[in-house]
């Protein structure tokens, strides 16, 4: 006997509705017949028939939708703020059953979930929790009607995001008005707090797709957004980070993206949530400020001491080094600079030792106030100072400590900077002052008025919007003219201007390369010159590349490597193999040396060809040692002069746990001896040979 109503009941409660009175009577007759057939009794006083709305599991269900029972929720209206944490938890538990009727419930209740027992008992800092408590009471009293989902109509998704929360409403249009079907929302985690507002709206849409998947699957979707987020995700050319799972989730649907302005038709306004966001931000929703001072926090006339340090280690030998420099401000003179050799350390250990040695240097000099340039947060030893302020600076700005570290590792011993020339070199290559000292108003104004296409400005794409200004970034011909001008004494140029010239030359060669010029044009969105078929082929390769000051390739492990054009590949092969630093290494080492920083198609084949054609390697390197002719087949002349052995593996486990059988065969007589084994380790095989052969027949040859 098949089902009558096409649905299951909850324990002993049966609720069913129909579109017309006749359909309802037919279903009731069929249901009563089934109950009578199975001898199931029904309580008539507890039964209701032909009702427009019925109470069911503390809900009021009608033809239009479902709502919370007013009598139950009215009692919460006058409920006072609990005096214990258990009371707050009981209040939240009572609301959890009705949270689907409360718009933005996870967002409003976030501050209540973060309360501690001591905080509630002491009544300390309860202004925001009490505001959230009152808002939830108002929301539960005025719960809206949630319409029944109709899979024949398209679903409407209205996302909303602010600085710390992502919420959305799933609704459907009835009589020209969009009415809610379900609510959802959550507080963003630490990483998501830094997303753009468009990305946060994507999170709200993705949450609807996951939470209400059973409702909206295979149904048309209409998404009202302020930022056209779906088009942004679908048309993105990169497959980076969180875009991949977002694209996979959206690929199962064909949503219609409708962009709306703020306050338009009330679809994207949600001002009440914005007000909540300003006053009820939980601790989880706050961007955690790092315990370091900000960039450019020191005044130009600041008098004090700055410590910079660095560390490096070789993973193969676990030998490393660290370097640390004490700077006297405001002159930025080197007080002390040392490099230390370290044993048995990793990269993180080397940098940590650099911090410890630097703090020890400052303590020995009696320094009590210190500004430390760091790349990791380490505070244990800093407690011995009156004040220690930590600031994160990238390695490119701390070339002085990097120089000490590299030289100590090359020397293989610790060393102290004592020569004036070395101190001057450290002062020249260091650029920490650019990150620590505040820019004056006049300098800031002059920098802001400088055009972007000025030859003195180079914009680096990998490290963000970092602008390098100064003579080191000027075109190289102008520098040559300055240095060769008679009657003027030009200051010695550092490595930065030569580096800028190298980047300029590589960029020129890349633009002239037939293969790379097509990819560069594609990355610049100049797509009109390509046919659709050509664009499809280029797009498959272009996702591996990123456009920077020089054009680089984003390859394994998200590591940026410079793309070498064809005209410069022979030079790169020469410096990596034949140059003094190359050392005529083999194919594998030369290839690994190149691929760590550069990329071009067919690199390994070019390296293999270049190394094999190297005259020095072919004429100077010796041939591999020859072990001599093979002894051939051994012909024993007596028993057990020669013994062979082999394993029979993967046998059923015996009572003693043996799963292998070791076979010994006398090559003279052909007799075989067996030894059960639990493993095939060399130590166990040697012991079995000693027990079965050596002690009984002596040593074989």
Question: Mind listing the pLDDT tens digit for each residue in 144-162?
Answer: 888 988 888 999 998 888 7
- CA quadruple 116, 119, 123, 129: dihedral, nearest 10: -50
Q: Give the separation between CA 302 and CA 433, rounded to whole angstroms.
A: 11
Q: What does 486-523 look like in DSSP terms, one character per residue? A: TT--PPPP-HHHHHHHHHHHHHHHHHH-HHHHHHHHHH
Same-domain check for residues 372 and 252: no
Task: Classify residue 113: in a domain, yes or no.
Answer: yes
399 and 269 in contact (C-beta within 8 Å)? no
Supply the pLDDT for residue 629: 58
Same-domain check for residues 648 and 613: no
- Whether the predicted pLDDT of 453 surpasses 70: no
Supply the pLDDT for residue 557: 41
Task: Classify residue 73: in a domain, yes or no.
Answer: no
Same-domain check for residues 551 and 525: yes
Task: Classify residue 427: in a domain, yes or no.
Answer: yes
- Interaxial angle between packed helices 399-411 and 347-364, expressed in degrees from 0 to 180 and rounded to the nearest 10: 110
Q: Identify the CATH number of the domain in which residue 678 sits.
A: 3.30.420.10
Same-domain check for residues 209 and 193: yes
C-alpha torsion sign, points 292, 306, 397, 353: negative
pLDDT (mean) for 502-506: 77
Chain centroid to CA 300: how far? 37
pLDDT (mean) for 413-436: 82
Same-domain check for residues 430 and 316: yes
Q: Give the separation between CA 292 and CA 602, rounded to whole angstroms.
A: 45
Task: Classify residue 105: in a domain, yes or no.
Answer: yes
What's the Cα-to-Cα distance from 625 to each of 231, 584, 628, rounded to whole Å? 65, 20, 9
Binned at pLDDT 50, 70 and 90, residue 662 comes out as very high
The CA angle 66-68-70, to the nearest 5 degrees, is 130
Weakest-pLDDT range from 128-142, 291-305, 318-332, 525-539:
291-305
Which secondary structure element, helix H or strand E, spans residue 399, and what is its range? helix 399-411
Q: Where are the beta strands (DSSP E) in 566-617?
A: 598-599
Same-domain check for residues 613 and 509: yes
Same-domain check for residues 309 and 427: yes
Supply the pLDDT for residue 385: 61
Same-domain check for residues 152 and 120: no
Identify which has the larger pLDDT, 647 or 10.
Answer: 647
595 and 628 in contact (C-beta within 8 Å)? no
- CA quadruple 98, 101, 104, 108: dihedral, nearest 10: -40
DSSP state of 645: E
Task: Classify residue 17: in a domain, yes or no.
Answer: no
**Range(s) of the domain holding residue 332:** 304-436
Supply the pLDDT for residue 293: 42
DSSP state of 382: G
**Last residue of a domain, which of 436, 456, 483?**
436
Same-domain check for residues 267 and 327: no
Q: Identify the CATH number of the domain in which residue 576 sits.
A: 1.10.340.70
**Last residue of a domain, which of 436, 458, 491?**
436
Same-domain check for residues 154 and 137: no
Q: Identify the CATH number of the domain in which residue 154 sits.
A: 3.10.20.370
Task: Classify residue 550: in a domain, yes or no.
Answer: yes
Q: Give the separation between CA 567 and CA 505, rounded to whole angstroms.
A: 11
- Whether the predicted pLDDT of 33 surpasses 80: yes
pLDDT (mean) for 286-303: 57
DSSP state of 276: H
Q: Give the separation between CA 91 and CA 95, rounded to whole angstroms.
A: 6
Binned at pLDDT 50, 70 and 90, residue 443 comes out as low
Same-domain check for residues 357 and 385: yes
Supply the pLDDT for residue 399: 79
Binned at pLDDT 50, 70 and 90, residue 689 comes out as very high
**Last residue of a domain, which of 619, 653, 670?**
619
- The per-residue pLDDT of the chain, averaged, comes to 76
Supply the pLDDT for residue 235: 66
Task: Classify residue 444: in a domain, yes or no.
Answer: no
Weakest-pLDDT range from 82-96, 171-185, 201-215:
82-96
Binned at pLDDT 50, 70 and 90, residue 675 comes out as very high
Q: Give the separation between CA 499 and CA 504, rounded to whole angstroms.
A: 9
Task: Classify residue 563: in a domain, yes or no.
Answer: yes
pTM: 0.42
Identify which has the larger pLDDT, 25 or 95.
Answer: 25
Same-domain check for residues 693 and 654: yes
307 and 391 in contact (C-beta within 8 Å)? no
Q: Give the separation between CA 337 and CA 401, rounded to whole angstroms.
A: 8
Domain tally, the chain: 5
Weakest-pLDDT range from 180-194, 209-223, 628-642:
628-642
- CA quadruple 132, 137, 138, 143: dihedral, nearest 10: 120
Supply the pLDDT for residue 490: 47
pLDDT (mean) for 208-216: 88
Percent with pLDDT over 90 in the chain: 8
Q: Give the separation between CA 383 and CA 386, rounded to whole angstroms.
A: 8
Supply the pLDDT for residue 448: 44
278 and 162 in contact (C-beta within 8 Å)? no
Residue 589 phi/psi, 5-degree rounding, is: -70, -40
């Amino acid at each position: 006997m098949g089902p009558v109503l096409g649905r299951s009941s909850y324990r002993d409660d049966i609720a069913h509705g129909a579109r017309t009175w006749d359909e309802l009577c037919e279903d009731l007759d069929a249901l009563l017949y089934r109950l009578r057939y199975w001898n199931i009794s029904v309580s008539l006083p507890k039964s209701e028939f032909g009702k427009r709305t019925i109470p069911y599991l503390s809900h009021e269900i009608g033809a239009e939708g479902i709502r919370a029972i007013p009598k139950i929720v009215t009692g919460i209206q006058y409920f006072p703020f609990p005096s214990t944490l258990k009371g707050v938890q009981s209040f939240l538990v009572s609301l959890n059953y009705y949270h689907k009727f409360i718009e933005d419930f996870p967002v409003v209740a976030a501050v209540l979930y973060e309360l501690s027992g001591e905080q509630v008992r002491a009544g300390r800092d309860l202004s925001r929790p009490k505001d959230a408590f009152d808002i939830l009471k108002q929301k539960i009293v005025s719960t809206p009607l949630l319409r029944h989902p109709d899979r024949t109509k398209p679903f409407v998704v209205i996302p909303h995001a602010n600085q710390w929360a992502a919420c959305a409403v799933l609704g459907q249009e009835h009589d020209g008005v969009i009415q809610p079907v379900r609510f959802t929302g959550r507080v963003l985690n630490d990483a998501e707090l830094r997303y753009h507002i468009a990305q946060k709206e994507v999170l709200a849409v993705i949450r609807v797709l996951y939470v209400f998947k059973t409702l909206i699957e295979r149904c048309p979707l209409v998404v009202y957004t302020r930022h056209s987020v779906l088009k942004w995700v679908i048309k993105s050319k990169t497959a980076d980070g969180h875009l991949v799972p977002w694209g996979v989730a959206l690929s199962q649907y064909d949503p219609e993206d409708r962009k709306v302005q703020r306050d338009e038709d009330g679809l994207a306004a949600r001002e009440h949530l914005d007000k909540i966001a300003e006053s009820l931000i939980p601790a989880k929703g706050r961007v955690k400020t790092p315990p370091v001072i900000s960039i450019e926090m020191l005044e130009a006339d600041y008098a004090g001491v700055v410590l910079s340090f660095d560390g490096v280690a070789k993973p193969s030998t676990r030998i490393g080094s660290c370097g640390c420099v004490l700077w006297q401000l405001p002159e930025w003179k080197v007080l002390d600079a040392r490099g230390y050799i370290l044993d048995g350390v990793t990269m993180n250990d080397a940098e940590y030792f650099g911090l410890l040695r630097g703090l020890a240097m400052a303590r020995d000099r009696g320094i009590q106030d210190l500004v430390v340039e760091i790349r990791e947060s380490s505070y244990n030893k800093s407690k011995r100072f009156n004040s220690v302020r930590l600031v994160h600076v990238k390695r490119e700005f701390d070339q002085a400590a990097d120089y000490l570290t590299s030289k100590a590792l090359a020397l293989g011993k610790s060393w102290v900077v004592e020569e004036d020339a070395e101190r001057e070199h450290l002062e020249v290559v260091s650029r920490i002052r650019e990150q620590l000292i505040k820019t004056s108003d006049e300098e800031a104004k002059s920098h802001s008025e400088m055009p972007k296409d000025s030859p003195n400005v180079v914009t680096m794409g990998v490290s963000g919007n970092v602008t390098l200004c100064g003579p080191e970034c000027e075109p190289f011909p102008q520098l040559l003219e300055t240095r060769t001008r008679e009657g003027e004494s030009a200051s010695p140029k550092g490595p930065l201007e030569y580096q800028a010239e190298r980047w300029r030359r590589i960029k020129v060669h890349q633009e002239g390369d037939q293969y790379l010029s097509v990819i560069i044009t594609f990355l610049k969105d100049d797509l009109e010159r390509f046919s659709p078929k050509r664009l499809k082929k280029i797009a498959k390769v272009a996702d591996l590349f990123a456009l920077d000051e020089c054009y680089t390739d984003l390859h394994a492990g998200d590591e940026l490597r410079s793309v070498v054009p064809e005209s410069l590949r022979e030079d790169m092969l020469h410096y990596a193999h034949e140059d003094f630093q190359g050392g005529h290494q083999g194919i594998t080492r030369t290839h690994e040396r190149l691929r760590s920083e550069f990329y071009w198609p067919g690199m390994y084949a070019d390296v293999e060809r270049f190394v094999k054609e190297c005259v020095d390697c072919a004429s100077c390197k010796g041939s591999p040692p020859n072990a001599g002719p093979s002894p051939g087949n051994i012909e024993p002349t007596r028993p057990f002069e020669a013994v062979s052995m082999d394993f029979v593996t993967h046998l059923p486990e015996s009572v003693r746990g043996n799963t292998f059988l070791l076979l010994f065969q006398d090559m003279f007589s052909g007799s075989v001896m067996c030894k059960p084994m639990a493993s095939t380790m060399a130590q166990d095989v040697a012991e079995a040979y000693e027990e079965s052969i050596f002690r009984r027949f002596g040593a074989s040859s």
